Amino acid sequence: MKIKPFLLYLFLFSIGLNIYSQEKSIENSFKNYFENTREIPYLHLNKTTFLLGEKLWFQAYVNEQNTSKLHPNTTNLYVTVFEETGKKKSQQLIKIKNGIGRGSIDIDSTFINKNYYVKATTNWMLNFKENNSYQQKISVLNSDKNKEEIVSTYNEEDYFEFQLFPEGGHYLVNAENTVGILLKDANNKGLEIKEGIIKNSDGEFIDTFSTNKFGLGKVSFYLPEDDIYTFEVEFSNGIKIENKIIEPRTVGVLLKTTQTTNGVEILIETNPITAALLKDKAYTLFVHNTRSYKKYNIQFNAENTRYLVALKKENIENGMNVITLFNEEKNAICERVFYNENPNLFFDVKLNQLASSKDSIAIRIVNDLNEKVYLSTSFLPNNTKAYKPQNTIKSAFILNPFVRGQIENPEYYFNQNNTNRLQELDLLLITQGWSKYSWKNIFDEIEKPKYDFEQGIDVKFTLNNAPKKNQTVIVYSDENDLIVEMKPDNKELFIDNSFLIKDSKFNFGLKTNNNSVTKIGPSLTYSKSSITDILNKTLEKESNKAELEISNFKSLTDGVSTLDEVIVKTKRVKNEANAFGIATMLTTFRMDDMLVTSGDLVLNFLSQKRFDVQVNNGDIFIGKRRPDRNHSMSGNSDNYTRQLRNVRVYLDGSEITQSLWILDGLYLNTLKSISFGQDPSQFNEVIYMYSLSAKEYSRKNSEFKEFFLPVGFSKEIEYYSPKYPSFLDQTYINYGAIFWKPLISIDKNSMYDFKVPINQQKNIKVYLEGISSSGKLITKEVKLSSKKPI
């Protein structure tokens, strides 16, 4: 007869983040390990299967793990395409601003294989042992009907994956054990079975088990001493597979969890032999994620073998959490990952169809949230087979940072329409074992980061000779909207933390006092704009069978014209009219009408016009004009703070009164005009300055040396659709694209309207993903009709 030992309920207090110890400290090690910022990138692709001649479009989201919000400081994201062999095919550098970026990849004639992988990572991420990079398999359809499909020959029985995972990490004799079950086929897909059998070492029946559609299951059983259980599955075709549990421990502790409506119950169980050995010893229960933790002390006695800790939902961090049990020597002996669902993790938007015309539909996205949201949307034919991402933004930011392996259909676990999703997610987490973060690494001494947190790229230009006193160096690039005139102290010029475009054209010239420009060709060095990256093959378990898909279309670039690319640039706004409508009241100086010599500074010009220009330790202040015509720039002023309020300064239509450092070193010949005087509407003096564009500057100074920058960021290109031969062909219906709309930002309680082409489709599938400013996530699938509003 089996007697259950008495269950002791522990009423414990938690020890928070402010408790530290001078000895080997779990808390200090944990805090130090996760102190540095960590980036988690995710790419929302417009689809995952492509026709030759299309583009892969994506929006990048980079999360900051410690805050679960968009990373405010990340700027450099590397997006790499790998072949299935792991060979790097291409890499591009994507500019990220406030956690968001976008880009595209040409699926051109060089994509000769069926499958490739897209990976996204940063240089800083290379410092960490845990791999949180983004990786997605993509497929390319080919119209070559004569291409033979290679199908592996294999023994079906050898390609089943049948694994057993004891909850907490190990088995214990004379105790109630819980084991997670994982069963997959040769194509890495879960296998659902109604009944498997558990037998003891004598072949006697013990119990049955089952798995769900993802091949996941769980069963509990009492494990007697000197016995090994075998799990057996027999398929309808007669094939049998089995797996034995690993050798159980005689002395040890089990860790098990049960999700409740109010929170989670944590059960610590041992056997009578261990209970006697643990008398009066204290273990530590550590509940944590990468941002915070709570600590509980477990005091053992000889009478009890089961100890229960009940945690309320409101006392648990939202999302994924890890429970780790430490012995008295502070060694981690058991661990379990669990999920705490909370509505604050997610948000929703309304996607409304306003009207339909013959060739397009009007879309309105409504944000009822009291915060700003950032979205990207892909529009595909309703019966598409081309959209099969391995992850969504929800699984990428919530689940993946804590688990080691690839998850089948991770969105299922975050879809509110799936009734049993939370129970099945818990099955998944049992089979994942310990979390991604090894306590050996956490306790080891933290290494100094070897890889920089990159922000832009640094470029150094080296001249053959240093410029003379009457010479300045001019650098301009229309593609980068860059124009610089500088007088270097030596032969070297630096452009640091820049976002220059790869293969963009630069122009160099050496200017003298007589405004003549001669060509100069400096040598170029730059910080790295690529990284050495490898394909993470542990995430990719390849199928041994593959469907042969054939495109009815030839390459969309063969004999078919496509729309010209539209390059997106951020240009300075030039108010060419008057200065806020008061030009007739101001004194205006146009540089074309003046004799401006090389080296004349804007601040010197303003000082000559009787403005009180003060420069104090790098800070610049401009006070109102004085009647004294002999006034010049100085470094002292008794009342510059009062005078600062009397002059408001504008550059290209934007006020820079509080950012006058912009004028430091600004040359007069880079401006188009300067206007100043009294503004009646503001009751003080104003200065308006308008600068030359790069094109205007180049026309004014035509003798320049041209060269193309071999490094830099990828160009941002507006979405365009290739010219498909037919919108009604089955190839287009299954694998074509209709529209892609990235960079949607909607203020709180606001809406966003745009139009989408129909492309002769009766119904359209919309895949929407995004994040709010506080870190809430959305993954949404909507069906649109071209006939009526939804």
DSSP-derived secondary structure for 665-684: T-BGGGEEEEEEEEETTTTE
Residue 261 lies in a domain: no
The single-letter code of the amino acid at 717 is: I
Give yes or no: residues 416 and 551 share one domain.
Answer: yes
Domain identity same for 495 and 590: no
Residue 488 has pLDDT above 60, yes or no: yes
The CATH number that applies at residue 783 is: 2.60.40.1930
Q: How many domains does the chain have?
A: 4
Tell me the average pLDDT across 653-659. Answer: 86
Let me know the angle formed at the C-alpha of 735 by 95 and 565, rounded to the nearest 5 degrees.
40
Length of the chain: 790
- Cα–Cα distance, 405 to 538 (Å, whole number): 7
DSSP-derived secondary structure for 390-418: S--HHIIIIIGGG--S--SSGGGGG-TT-
Token duo for residue 355: 């009207």
655-682: b (≥16 Cβ within 10 Å) or e = ebeeebeebeebbbbbbbbbbbbebeee
- The CATH number linked to 505 is 2.60.40
Q: Do 55 and 129 reside in the same domain of the chain?
A: yes
Residue 561: pLDDT above 70?
A: no
pTM for this model (two decimals): 0.80
Distance CA 144, CA 152 (A): 21
Indicate whether 118 and 185 sit together in one domain: no
Average model confidence (pLDDT) across the chain: 85
The position carrying tokens 């074992």 is: 433
For 617-632, b where at least 16 C-beta lie within 10 A, e where not — what string? eeebbbbbbeeeeebe
Question: Which residues, in sequence order, are bridge partners of residue 551?
Answer: none
Asked if 27 and 115 sit in the same domain, the reply is yes
User: Does 481 lie in the same domain as 428?
Assistant: no
pLDDT at 406: 80
Q: Which residues are bridge partners to 312 per DSSP?
A: 263
* Nearest Cα to Cα of residue 229 among 287, 155, 179: 179
pLDDT digits (tens, 9 = 90+) for 383-409: 999 999 999 999 999 999 999 878 889
* Predicted confidence band of residue 586 (pLDDT cuts 50, 70, 90): confident
- Give the span between the Cα atoms of 194 and 210, in whole angstroms: 5
390-394, 569-573, 643-647: range with lowest mean pLDDT? 569-573
Same domain, 104 and 30: yes
- CB contact at 8 A, 392 and 769: yes
pLDDT band at 539 (very low <50, low <70, confident <90, very high): low
Residue with tokens 């009241």: 585
Tokens 């006695």 appear where?
301
Q: Is residue 596 part of a domain?
A: yes
pLDDT category of residue 512 using cuts at 50, 70 and 90 = confident
98 within a domain of the structure (yes/no): yes
pLDDT at 519 exceeding the cut of 80: no
Which of 200, 228, 244 is a domain's end point?
Answer: 244
DSSP state of 449: P
Q: What is the pLDDT of residues 740-755, one digit of tens each?
A: 999 999 999 999 999 9
Mean pLDDT value across residues 467-495: 80
Strand order in the sheet with 175-184: 161-166, 175-184, 216-223
Give the rounded distance of the alpha carbon of 610 from its chain centre: 52
Query: Looking at residue 167, which CATH number applies to its domain?
Result: 2.60.40.10
Confidence of residue 730 (pLDDT cuts 50, 70, 90): very high
**Where are the extended beta strands (E) located within 481-618?**
482-486, 492-498, 505-511, 517-519, 523-526, 587-590, 612-616
Same domain, 591 and 645: yes
The answer on 485 and 630 residing in a single domain is no
Residues 628 and 730 in one domain: no
| Residue 700: inside a domain | no
Quote the CA–CA distance of 361 and 352 in Å, as a whole number: 10
69 and 187 in a common domain: no
State yes or no: pLDDT of 2 exceeds 50. Answer: no
Residue 105 belongs to a domain: yes
Q: Dump pLDDT digits (tens) for 699-723.
A: 665 567 787 888 899 999 999 998 9
* Domain limit, last residue, from 656, 674, 692: 692
Residue 549 falls within a domain, yes or no? yes
776 and 729 in a common domain: yes
Q: CA neighbours within 13 Å on the CB side: how many for 346?
A: 20
Structural domain of 222: 158-244
DSSP state of 442: H
Tokens of 513: 């006092």
Distance in angstroms (rounded) separating the CA atoms of residues 332 and 440: 9
Residue 749 lies in a domain: yes
**Segment 84-102, tens digit of pLDDT:** 999 999 999 999 999 999 9
Q: Could you give phi then psi for residue 157, rounded to 5 degrees?
A: -65, -30
CA distance 241 to 246: 16
Neighbouring C-alpha atoms within 13 Å toward the C-beta of 275: 19
Do the domain assignments include residue 190? Answer: yes
Q: Which of 277-281, 606-610, 725-729 has the lowest mean pLDDT?
A: 606-610
